[in-house]
Amino acid sequence: MTTKREVDYWKRRFLYEKEQQLQNTAEYESAMRARLKEVQPILEQEVEYWLNRYANNQKISKEDARKILSTIGTRDWHLTLKEFKRKAKEGGFDKELDAEYFKSQLSRLENIDEQLTSLLAQYATSETNKLENSLINQFKQTYMHSIYLTQLEKAKLSSNFANVNEYQVKAIVRKPWRGSDFSKRIWKNYTEILPNELGDALLRGSALGHSHEQIFKMMRQRLKDVEDYQLHRLIITEMGHVAETATADAYKEEGVEQYQYLATLEAHTCEECAHLDEKIFDLKDKVEGLNYPLIHPYCRCTTMPYIEGLPDSSERWARDPETSKGEYAENMTFNKWKEQYSDNTWKIGSSAKLTIPEKQGLTNYLSSWAYDINDKLRKGLELSDYDKENIINLDSALGKLPKYHSDKPLQRSLRFWNEEELTDFLRERKPGTIVAEPSYISTSKGIYDENDNVQIIIRSSKSGVDLSDYGLAEEKEVLFGRNTKFKILKGYTKGEQIILEVEEID
């Protein structure tokens, strides 16, 4: 019979998995905030141009504008403007509002709103791809760890379970829930909520005659508000939903019929879920939002399998079904279990034999870590111990895997938002120049994003590694290691795009 002490032990192990998921969430959110910080000066540059040309409106005095705006509590500039016009007319400003100059001001405000929305839409596309990769990685991690912990708890280690492939995980991640899916929620935040908030700050600031810096300060605060509330809630909720979906799928795969709700994490009990804490439910009756997490936004609760009649600590020996050799189950690490029992759908499709750390290095590169590490390498930023370990493992894996050979050229798509950065990039890549970037270079067998303003065509390659069998096959990724040398053959324009043709050299 299982003692309370042992039940508490397993509870701690499942809660630790939840803590790991929350740590992954925090790391992604931190990286997302850093990316948004890079957008900030580009937004301000667009707004400053508008302010320099159009923002002097003295038809309604600053004092009158202040009185009107102080009574309007909306944060969407369309609603703020509607209320402003209504209250201005009530205050006797009909003539000023009907003036052609005022109408042209509003038309130009709509124009800058469209520009900000268009700019942020491009970032929304990029962020959607990054979040999808992280959600896929989180699902796989939670699913495998939940299988592992459930087998340990039952003391029945086995390879008799189904792995999920990339396409299955992608379908799960993209499946709508609570009326929408993660990509639509990202898109709404970037192309509706954020532009409306920024436009509202611009409308209020220009109407009150604020300086450019004062308006920028208002916009930065609005950006931070969206990060702290809407985007924070979105990321923690989407990552949590995917993790709990993976856990439930693992329960089904392992034949678990009941689960126990856990509402206490790090000694803190969730107030909204306290009535569910430690209650036991049938898996067949699971309803997310009612008796299974996530119950509410920001929900940090999770579950653990409820299995009656578990062996006590003296009987927790797992017998290998093939060798009949026994091993004390709780002494088996996740990596050892994965190597021994998982048929691992994510194994490399080649004959190369990689170690578990090397496989993990590749898996991490196919997650959001790739964006972070390449950014650090390009900018010469300090690397964490986690980064250093992954680089060693990834470099080792790339050295073992077969090289890509084909007569067809590879493609690399880049997007530059800043004209100065684009100029600097091209200045270092004149025909005949040899370039060796300190970062990894991801390329594709087809055009990755036809809308990017720089397209690089790699006419010949020698050291690229085909990751199609390991990552997302439809991305057709071929990866080059750090400091790979490329010679610029020629550069030209095609419509609004810049095309560079290069070849790899020794």
pLDDT score, position 79: 56
Cis status of the peptide bond prior to 283, with omega within 30 of 0: no
pLDDT score, position 364: 77
Sign of CA dihedral 61, 63, 69, 75: positive
- Cβ atoms 93, 64 nearer than 8 A: yes
Q: Higher pLDDT residue, 257 or 125?
A: 257
Q: In this predicted model, what pLDDT tens digit does every residue of 221-241 receive, in sequence order?
A: 988 888 898 899 999 999 999
User: Which residues lie below 8 Å from residue 70, measured CB to CB, with a gap of 6+?
Assistant: none
- Cβ atoms 458, 470 nearer than 8 A: no
3-state secondary structure of 343: coil
397 burial via Cβ count (<10 Å: 0-12, 13-18, 19+): buried
What percent of the chain is predicted at pLDDT more than 90?
27
Helix axes 100-154, 4-54, angle to 10 degrees: 160
Q: For residue 333, which phi and psi values (nearest 5 degrees)?
A: -75, 165
How far, in Å, are 54, 67, 116, 156 from residue 209 at the CA level? Answer: 12, 13, 21, 71
- Cβ atoms 74, 200 nearer than 8 A: yes
Closest CA relative to residue 242, chosen from 32, 25, 473:
25
Over residues 147-165, the mean pLDDT reads 76
Q: Sheet containing 258-262: which strands, arranged edge to edge?
A: 280-282, 258-262, 302-305
pLDDT score, position 63: 58
Q: How far apart are CA 318 and CA 473, in angstroms?
A: 37
Q: In this predicted model, what pLDDT tens digit does every residue of 247-304 receive, in sequence order?
A: 999 999 999 999 999 998 766 788 899 999 999 999 999 999 999 999 998 899 999 9
Is the pLDDT reported for residue 478 higher than 80? yes
Q: For residue 203, which phi and psi values (nearest 5 degrees)?
A: -60, -50
Over residues 356-372, the mean pLDDT reads 78
Q: How far apart are CA 68 and CA 34, in angstroms?
A: 36
pLDDT score, position 319: 45
pLDDT score, position 102: 54
Q: Which helix (H) or strand (E) holds 87?
A: helix 77-90
3-state secondary structure of 259: strand
Is the pLDDT reported for residue 169 higher than 60? yes
How sure is the predictor about 188, in pLDDT bands with cuts at 50, 70 and 90? confident
- Cβ atoms 180, 386 nearer than 8 A: no
User: Which residues lie below 8 Å from residue 282, measured CB to CB, with a gap of 6+?
Assistant: 257, 258
The residues that bridge with 441 in the sheet, in sequence order, are 480
CATH 3.90.176.10 for domain 403-505 = yes
pLDDT score, position 501: 95
Average pLDDT, the chain: 79
Delimit the domains of the chain by residue range.
Answer: 9-256, 403-505
pLDDT score, position 199: 80
Q: How far apart are CA 393 and CA 354, in angstroms?
A: 10
Q: How far apart are CA 444 and CA 409, in angstroms?
A: 9
Is the pLDDT reported for residue 96 higher than 70? no
Tokens of 353: 């034999």
- Cβ atoms 410, 441 nearer than 8 A: no
The residues that bridge with 479 in the sheet, in sequence order, are 442, 465
How sure is the predictor about 12, in pLDDT bands with cuts at 50, 70 and 90? confident
Is the pLDDT reported for residue 76 higher than 60? no
Query: Worst-scoring range by mean pLDDT, 232-241, 466-475, 479-488?
Result: 466-475
Q: For residue 477, which phi and psi values (nearest 5 degrees)?
A: -80, 135
Is the pLDDT reported for residue 321 higher than 50? no
Q: How many of the other CB atoms lie within 10 Å of CB of 149?
A: 22
Q: For residue 445, which phi and psi values (nearest 5 degrees)?
A: -75, -10
What dihedral do alpha carbons 115, 116, 121, 123 form, nearest 10°?
Answer: 120
pLDDT score, position 122: 82
DSSP 349: S
Over residues 29-48, the mean pLDDT reads 86
3-state secondary structure of 286: coil
Q: Higher pLDDT residue, 105 or 131?
A: 131
pLDDT score, position 311: 53
How sure is the predictor about 464, in pLDDT bands with cuts at 50, 70 and 90? very high
